[in-house]
Amino acid sequence: MMARETSRAKPSTDFSRSAVSRYIQLATLFRRRIETSEWRVGGRIPTIDELADECGVARATIRQACGLLEAEGLIKRFRAKGTFVLKRPQEGLWCEVNTDWSGLLRSREDAVIEILSSEIVDTPQFVPHAIGELASSYRHLRRRHWRNEQSFLFADVYIDQSLCKKIPASEYKTKSSLRLVAGISGVHIVDFRQSLTVGAADIETAEKLHLPLNAPVAHVNRSAVDNRGRLVLISNGIYRGDVVRLDMKLK
């Protein structure tokens, strides 16, 4: 195996300024070092004491952070030898949050969509954008998206119930929320809004996406209005913060 990766000077980062638990912040930092090959596969990482000194935290906090990476299979501790990097985080799990129309309509061919629940409601629980007029009722779908046996998106989707009879049941498991509506004959989207905010996983999100409590997540809210001026789609999605990427085409 390769020589141990060297530690570096104590950073100026104040981990206490974030509401996210310190060990989760550190796990994200260490995971990034593996991703960028600062900690190389086969190399030995700094000791618990060295990392605690570098980061200015207790050794128990470092152990918790390393425990997360070990649970992911990224590192492994060998008795009397140290802790070594086994592999880099799984590549290709990125989920692009597109800002161009064609990208928003595109579904990932290797993604699996799981329907957690489906019901008819009068009004959505949350309307992220003040556009269009509400429909008389909506089909509320709770969906979880998987890729490479890893859940990466948990979403509440509301579709104008009057349009749902035109959507084959099989498409709810294969198409993005916007594509479900935009693909309906006679429906023309005339106004569309998308917003992204960064937050931390609550208890429900942590359970659905198999994340530690307070792990970073990205909230992506989308609203679509058709040519009748009706709000035909609301999608409130929560992505794992370690796999989401915002792609923007600048002119």
Tens digits of residue pLDDT in 50-105: 999 999 999 999 999 999 899 889 999 998 899 999 998 765 555 666 666 555 55
If you average pLDDT over residues 36-44, what whole number do you get? 94
Distance CA 251, CA 246 (A): 16
If you average pLDDT over residues 146-171, what whole number do you get? 92
If you average pLDDT over residues 31-54, what whole number do you get? 93
Contacts of 72 (CB under 8 A, 6+ apart): 31, 89
Domain formed by 95-247, architecture: 3-Layer(aba) Sandwich (3.40)
Numbers of helices and strands, H then E, in the chain = 7, 11
If you average pLDDT over residues 121-140, what whole number do you get? 96
Q: Is the pLDDT of residue 162 over 90?
A: yes
Contact 144, 153 (CB under 8 A): yes
Confidence of residue 20 (pLDDT cuts 50, 70, 90): low
Stronger pLDDT, 109 or 136, i.e. the higher one: 136
Q: Is the pLDDT of residue 19 over 90?
A: no
SS3 content of the chain, % helix, strand, coil (to 5): 25, 35, 40
For domain 15-85, give the fold: Arc Repressor Mutant, subunit A (1.10.10)
If you average pLDDT over residues 107-120, what whole number do you get? 85
Distance CA 239, CA 200 (A): 10
Contacts of 96 (CB under 8 A, 6+ apart): 103, 245, 246, 247
Instruction: Calculate the alpha carbon distances from 97 to 94, 201, 212 in Å.
Output: 9, 18, 23
pLDDT in tens, 131-155: 999 999 999 999 999 987 888 899 9
Q: What is the pLDDT of residue 192?
A: 93
pLDDT in tens, 188-245: 999 999 999 999 889 999 999 988 777 889 999 999 999 999 999 999 999 988 777 7
Q: What is the pLDDT of residue 28?
A: 85
Q: Return the domain boundaries, the chain.
A: 15-85, 95-247
Q: What is the pLDDT of residue 15?
A: 54
The separation between CA 160 and the C-alpha centre of its own chain, rounded to angstroms, equals 26
If you average pLDDT over residues 12-22, what whole number do you get? 58
Lowest mean pLDDT, pick from 66-70, 110-114, 172-176: 110-114
String of DSSP letters for 58-101: -HHHHHHHHHHHHHTTSEEEETTTEEEE--PPPTT--EEEE-SH
String of DSSP letters for 167-222: S-GGGGGTS-HHHHHHTSTT--EEEEEEEEEEEE--HHHHHHHT--TT-EEEEEEE
Contacts of 109 (CB under 8 A, 6+ apart): none
